[in-house]
Amino acid sequence: MRKDMASSAVLNARVRGPLRLLLGQLPRLLFRLLFVFPLLLLAYLSLQQAWRFPRLVSGEWTLQHWAATLQGHNSLLSSMGLSLLLSGSVALLAATSGFAVSGAVMQQKRARRWLSLAYFPYLIAPVVFAAMLQFYFVRMGWSGTLGGVVLAQYLFVFPYAVLFFSGFWTDRMRNLIAQARTLGASSREVWLRILWPLGRPVLAMGLFQCFLLSWFEYGLTRLLGVGKVQTLTIQTVLYVQEANPHLAAVASLLMIVPAMLLLLINRQLLLRKTSGLQ
Amino acid sequence: MSLTSSKRFSAPFLWVYALLTVVPLLAGWGYSLHCSLRPLQGISGQPGTWQRLFAPPSEGGEAWQTLSYTFGLSAISIGMILLFALPLSYAFVFNQRNKGLQGWLFLPLTMPPVVAAFAFLALLSPSGFLSRVAYALGLSAGIDQFPRLVNDALSTGIILTQVFLLTPFFTLAFINQAQQENMPALRRAADALGSRRAQFARRIYAPLLLRRSLPLLLLYAVYLFGTYEIPLLLGRSSPRVVTVYITEQMQRFDLSNIPLGHAMAVLYTALVAVLLVFLLSRRAGQIRET
C-alpha cells in the first residue's frame, strides 16, 4: 500500500514537473510573443501570394514580392536608396553641426537657458512644423525637392543632436580640455587629440539616433515632398492605402532591418562607452 | 578657460544655433498667425477664422472637439502605458530571472510609427488576424460580425499601437530610474519595517518613480499630443487629432479652410510652448534646489 502511494507520488511529480515548467514559462513565452508577433505577421504577409478571409494560414507561400523588389519591378528599392541618402545626409549634417554647436552652447554661463531653445522645434510635431513652413518652401522653390526635404528634416533633427551631445560636455571633459590648454595645446590639437578620440563613440551614437529620427519620419516628408520625394515611409502608406498588404509588409521590413542593425551596433557602442567610463 | 577656445570662436556657433532653432519656428508661427487673422479674400459676410474654429459643433466649429479628443487620447495612452510599464519594470528590477527578457523590450523601438500602425491594422482590422482567429474559433460569423477595433469610435487601434510602441521605452526608463534610486535597498528597508510587498510597490516604488519621471512623462504627453501617422492610418475622419486636422484643412480644395488649419497650428504650437516653458522652469527650480 505504502509502495503504491510512493509510486503514484513519483508519477504525479513526473507529470506535474513539465506542466509546472510550462506554466512557469508561459508568461515569459507570451511576453516574447507579444513583442515579436507584429514582426512575424509582417514577415508572413510579405511571403504570401494572397491572404483571403477567413483563412488564417493560406499556405500559398511565395518569394515574388521580395524578388520583384530586388529586381526593381516596383519602386521599393529606389525608395530605400533615396531614404538611405536622405537620412544619411540629415544624420551627418545634424550630428557634426550638433556636436560643434553643443560644445559652444555648453561653455556659456547660462548654458541650460541656451539649451532650452532646442526643445521648441524638437517637440513641435514635425508635420505641424512643416505645415507652418510650407509657404516659405514653396516660395523658395524647395517644395517637392530632395534638398528641401533634407533641409526641413535637418531643422528638427539638429535641435535633437544639440540636446543629445550636450551630455558629452561634462565637468570632467571641461577640466580635461582646460588642462590640455594650460599645458600649451592649441585648439586644433584639443580637437584632434582629445575631443575626437573621446567623442567618437558618442558621435557615432548620435549619428545613429539622428539617422533613425530621419528614417522614421513621414508627415513632414509627405507635406514638403508633395509626393515627389518617395521615401520608404511614404511608399508604405501608399501601399496600405492601395490595399496591397504584401508590398506594404516588404516596405515595412525594409524599414525595420536597418533600424535593428543600428540598434545592435548602438547597444554595443553603449556598452563600450560605459566600460570606457568605468 | 573656455571649452575649446575663445568666446570669439564660439560666437558664430551660437548665431547658427539661434538661427536654426528660433528663426524657422518664429517665421512659421508668424506666417500661420498672419493667415489665421487676415480676412478671407473674395468671400464676404463670413465670420473670422478664429470664430469659425471656436464655433459650437452644431455650427461646424471643430476646435474644442479636436483638442479634447487629442488630449483625451494622449491621457488614456499615457495612463495605459504607465499601467503596464510600472509592473513590468518592477518585475525586471526585483526578479533576476527576468533579466534575459529585457532585450526583447528593444524590439518595438526599431519600429517606425507607420510600420507599427500597419502591423496593428493587419492584426485588428475586420479582415485581420484577430478576426480570422475569432472566426476559426466560432466566436465571429464573419467580417461584419467582428467588433471594429480600427477606425472605431473608441480609438482602440490607436491606443493599442501607442501602448505597444511606448510601453517598452517607459519600462526601460523606469528600470534605469529604479536602479538610480537604489530600489532593492529601499525594499529591504521597507521589509525590515514590516511592510508588505504590495504596500512597498503601491506606496514607495510607483510614487517615487512617477515623481522622478514626471518631466519625461510630460514630454511624452506632448509627443503623443502631436502624433500623426498612427491616427492617420487607424483613426476615424471625425473626430480627428490636431495634426490630422491641420494637414487636412491645409490640403482641402476649399481654400476657405486653409486659415482654419493655420489657426489650429498657431493654437497647438502655443499650447506646446506654454507646457514646455512650465516644464523647463520646473526643471530649473529642481536643479537650483539640488
**Could you tell me if A120 and A24 lie in one domain?**
no
Contact A131/B at CB under 8 A: yes
Burial of B52 (0-12, 13-18, 19+ CB in 10 A): buried
Domain membership of residue A68 (yes or no) is: no
Looking at the predicted structure, is the pLDDT value of residue A126 above 90?
A: yes
Q: For residues A130 and A23, state if they share a domain.
A: no
Nearest to B119 by CA among B151, B147, B157, B89: B157
Across the interface, whether the CB atoms of B10 and A215 are under 8 A apart is answered no
Residue B118 pLDDT: 97
Same domain as A7, residue A130: no
Q: Is residue A66 part of a domain?
A: no
- Tell whether A248 lies on the interface with B, counting CB pairs under 8 A: yes
ipTM over 0.90: no
On whether both A81 and A216 belong to a single domain, the answer is yes
Task: State the pLDDT confidence band at B290, using cuts at 50, 70 and 90.
Answer: very low
Query: Which residue of A lies nearest to B142 if distances are taken between CA atoms?
Result: A54
Whether residue A257 sits in one domain with residue A183: yes
* In a domain? residue A272: yes
Predicted confidence (pLDDT) per residue in A231-272, tens digit: 999 999 999 999 999 999 999 999 998 788 877 776 655 444
3-state secondary structure of A48: strand
Structural domain containing residue A175: 73-277
Residues A261 and A157 both lie in one domain? yes
Contact B229 A219 (CB under 8 A): yes
* Chain B nearest CA to A145, separation (Å): 18
Query: Residue B255 to residues A30, B250, B260: CA-CA distances in angstroms?
Result: 51, 8, 10
Task: Give yes or no: residues A172 and A266 share one domain.
Answer: yes
The set of residues, in sequence order, having a beta carbon less than 8 Å from that of A30 and lying 6+ positions away, is none
* Closest in B114, B135, B280 to A237, CB measured: B114
For the beta carbon of residue B56, count every other beta carbon within 10 angstroms: 8
Contact B118 A123 (CB under 8 A): no
Assess whether A12 and A109 both reside in one domain: no
Residues A14 and A137 in one domain: no
Does A123 sit within 8 Å of B132, measured CB to CB?
no
Indicate if A200 and A97 belong to the same structural domain. Answer: yes
Residue A84, domain CATH: 1.10.3720.10
Q: Between A38, A158, A173, which is nearest B123 by CB?
A: A38
What does the pLDDT read at residue B1? 44
Return the domain boundaries, chain B: 70-240, 241-290
Ranking A79-88, B100-109, B178-187 by mean pLDDT, the lowest is B100-109
Residue B159 has pLDDT above 80, yes or no: yes
The fold of the B70-240 domain, in CATH, is MetI-like fold (1.10.3720)
A88 in the same domain as A12: no
Is A56 a member of any domain?
no
Question: How far, in whole angstroms, is CA A278 from its chain's centroid?
Answer: 27
- Judge whether A133 lies within some domain: yes
Residue A109 banded pLDDT, cuts 50, 70, 90: confident
pLDDT per position as a tens digit, A188-229: 899 899 999 999 988 988 898 899 899 999 999 999 999 899
> Into how many domains does chain A fold?
2
Q: pLDDT-derived band of residue B218, with 50, 70 and 90 as boundaries? A: confident
Compare CB distances from A187 to B4, B118, B121 and report the shortest one's residue: B4
At residue B11, does pLDDT exceed 50?
yes
In a domain, A239, yes or no: yes
> Residues A131, A14: one domain?
no
